[in-house]
Amino acid sequence: MGEFMASSTGQDRRRGDFSYRDRITCGTLARTSVVKRTRMQIYYSGTVQGVGFRYSVKSVANGFEVTGTIRNLADGRVELLAEGGKEELEAFRQGIRDSGLAHFIHKEDITWNEAKNEFRGFEIVR
């Protein structure tokens, strides 16, 4: 069995190459539980500028497995782009409302699309 337990270098692991032992113990579980990422775009209308809305949403995002951006628009709305698993995004959306921001929001226009994987972390765009 020793021939199957040859270790991988750090460089191999970054490419996704694992030893036989890794494949049996944790690699299989990790690869079968891959969550399909999706993109959620929300336009918030209401009193959403000048009240710390973007900063609060960024703070909420830290508690979820999401990436994306939030920014003010010239027409007074705020645009949220976030990517992650659909259930996680729905929980994030509810988390925003539950954080005390619901009373600032009069309307949410939401669309769902395929993730583009273009974000690293969650950022406020100025």
- Phi, psi angle pair for 47, to nearest 5°: -95, 75
What type of residue is 113? N
Active-site residue, 72 included: yes
- pTM over 0.85? The answer is no
Q: Of 14, 23, 37, 54, which is the active-site residue?
A: 54
Q: What are the backbone dihedrals phi and psi of residue 116, each rounded to the nearest 5 degrees, phi first?
A: -105, -10
Instruction: Write down all domains in the chain, each with its CATH number in brackets.
Output: 2-32 (no CATH), 37-125 (3.30.70.100)
Report whether pLDDT(99) > 90: yes
Distances (CA, A) of 5 to 8, 17, 25: 9, 13, 12
Q: Among 20-34, 67-81, 109-123, where is mean pLDDT lowest?
A: 20-34
Adjacent-strand bridge partners of 110:
42
Which of 72, 77, 113, 126 is flagged as catalytic? 72
Q: Residue 92: what pLDDT?
A: 98
Alpha-carbon separation of residue 62 from 45, 56, 59, 67 (angstroms): 23, 10, 5, 9
Examine the pLDDT at 49 and tell me if it is beyond 80.
yes
Tell me the sheet residues that pair with 79: 43, 71
pLDDT confidence band for 126 (50 / 70 / 90): confident
The residue with greater pLDDT, 103 or 25, is 103
**The length of the chain, given as a count of residues:** 126
